[in-house]
A and B are shown apart, each in its own frame.
Chain A
Amino acid sequence: MRVGVITFPGSLDDRDAQRAVRLAGAEPVALWHGDHDLHGVDALILPGGFSYGDYLRCGAIAAHSPIMAEVIDAANSGMPVLGICNGFQMLAEAHLLAGGLIRNDHGNFICRDQGLRVENTSTAWTNEFAANAEITIPLKNGEGGFVADPDTIARLEGEGQVVFRYLGVNPNGSINDIAGITNERGNVVGLMPHPEHAVEAGFGPDTAAAMRSGVDGLAIFTSAIRALAAV
């Protein structure tokens, strides 16, 4: 099982995403934004960071990268595609996911361990979670406010395309506390928080059991492996 992680100019969490893939039991494959080649991978991750310095709009320039032509084809043919933070912004800019991400309503950059509820456990990236599982993974962004027009919000809610919802506090003004969504088919998922930073004890969020022992993000990566094995 080979999972590609695309590096864009300004990507920060590509190495962490590769590591998460390895810990989940798959082989990470480093991909380059300027290529027109997915190297035969079975799934794709668009990692977090600040591609092109967040110029124009977050993810907007990266969404026009050469490799995005292949990403869009792969997504439309059913390949599991995950966008984390800046990757979510790219998927929204590429219209693979609905809505858009704007500057946090309070204007501040937020970095915290964030509680989420997993509300759709049938996607390629969430099938290993129990229904309505409550998880904690890091969140770190300045432009994570999810917005869409009322019809789109109603459709996302009605069709169960809201995958992750913020628990406890809404950190950025996202409509309906939406933290992550999927497409109609359930193969493309984007979320603002960072599951790749909660995959190994000693380096994750604190839990009641021990400091930094949280590994709630790992199931996102093992879910893709399970989804691919089921094909």
Chain B
Amino acid sequence: MPTIVVEVMPKAVLLDPQGKAVTGALHRLGNTTVSEVRIGKRFELTVDEVTDELLAEVQTYADEMFSNSVIEDVVSITVADEVTA
């Protein structure tokens, strides 16, 4: 079944404390090449079929529930035939 994938990231201008903690952990492991890690969210919506109407609906969900526009940005909404994780 097709899957609609929504990706949300914390706004670039805001501190991402989770990402900062992971950056610190990488550096403690000896990594010297990664200067920053930022952590976002990925939503996978399994649907029967993808229609323009549904995509518009998902855009609304992405804007109003999956993300908070004060602190996050919806970076992409894509359709995958099958998600292989």
Report A's interface with B, CB cutoff 8 A.
Answer: 56-57, 60, 64, 92-93, 98-100, 102-107, 145, 147-149, 173
Query: By the criterion CB–CB under 8 Å, are B18 and A147 in contact?
Result: no
Query: By the criterion CB–CB under 8 Å, are A57 and B17 in contact?
Result: no
Query: By the criterion CB–CB under 8 Å, are B65 and A147 in contact?
Result: no
Give the residues in chain B near A93, CB-CB below 8 Å.
68
Encoded as 1 (CB less than 8 Å from any A CB) or 0, chain B from 10 to 44 comes to 10001101101100000000000000000000000
Number of B interface residues at 8 Å Cβ cutoff, please give it: 12
Query: By the criterion CB–CB under 8 Å, are A147 and B68 in contact?
Result: no
CB of B70 within 8 Å of the partner chain: yes
* Nearest CB in chain B: distance from A144 CB, A: 11
Report B's interface with A, CB cutoff 8 A.
Answer: 10, 14-15, 17-18, 20-21, 65-66, 68, 70-71
A147, B68: Cα distance in complex, Å: 12
Known: A60-B65, A64-B65. A92 touches B70 (CB 8 A): yes
A148, B68: Cα distance in complex, Å: 11
Query: By the criterion CB–CB under 8 Å, are A100 and B71 in contact?
Result: yes
Query: By the criterion CB–CB under 8 Å, are A103 and B18 in contact?
Result: yes
Query: By the criterion CB–CB under 8 Å, are A147 and B17 in contact?
Result: no
